[in-house]
Amino acid sequence: MAPQQFGVEAVLIDGAVTLHLQGELDLDTAPELHECVAVLLGEGVCQITMDLAELTFVDSTGLTSWYRR
């Protein structure tokens, strides 16, 4: 069975963003999440929530990808 493709959908409501994550969040896909978070922070978004309900796999790289400075 092939890995499920990773995806991020950003939903903005009242200045807060919820990121709906789908698929596998790992070493290969973590940079995509990091870039998405970096763009949002660069645009001045101060509140980001991550909905992990549709992730089928996550490893330690995926867990820390949003935190890189």
Residue boundaries of the structural domains of the chain: 7-67
Query: What pLDDT is stored for residue 63 in this prediction?
Result: 76
Query: What pLDDT is stored for residue 67 in this prediction?
Result: 63
Query: What pLDDT is stored for residue 61 in this prediction?
Result: 80
Q: What is the DSSP string of the chain?
A: -PPPPPEEEEEEETTEEEEEEEEEESTTTHHHHHHHHHHHHHTT--EEEEEEEEEEEE-HHHHHGGG--
Query: What CATH class is the domain 7-67?
Result: alpha beta
List, for residues 15-53, the tens digit of each pLDDT value: 899 999 999 999 899 999 999 999 999 999 999 999 999
